[in-house]
Amino acid sequence: MRALRAWLDAAGIDAGPIFRPIDKAGTVKPKRLTCRSVANLVKAYAERAGFDASIYSAHSLRSGFLTSAAGNGASIFKWM
């Protein structure tokens, strides 16, 4: 929650989408990130971490979360 609160405060977000694009001048835009933007971010950070970016996608976040939740005994109802 601290990291989320810090982001919201730094970006000046008090309503609307939480995850937004930032332009080259460092301005946080009012619209949400697109699905393509999220996919590009996942691939870029996978590559920076030394992984083969071609096998990662935005869906990797969801599937990784579900795998971790199941491994930690979370109820399927909580996954939803």
Task: Report pLDDT digits (tens) over 21-61.
Answer: 999 999 999 999 998 999 999 999 999 999 999 998 888 77
Q: Find the helix or strand (DSSP H, E) in which 63 lies.
A: helix 58-71
Per-residue pLDDT at 25:
96
4 within 8 A of 18, measured Cβ to Cβ: yes
Q: 40 φ, ψ to 5°?
A: -65, -40
- Residue 79: per-residue pLDDT: 73
Give pLDDT, residue 57. Answer: 86
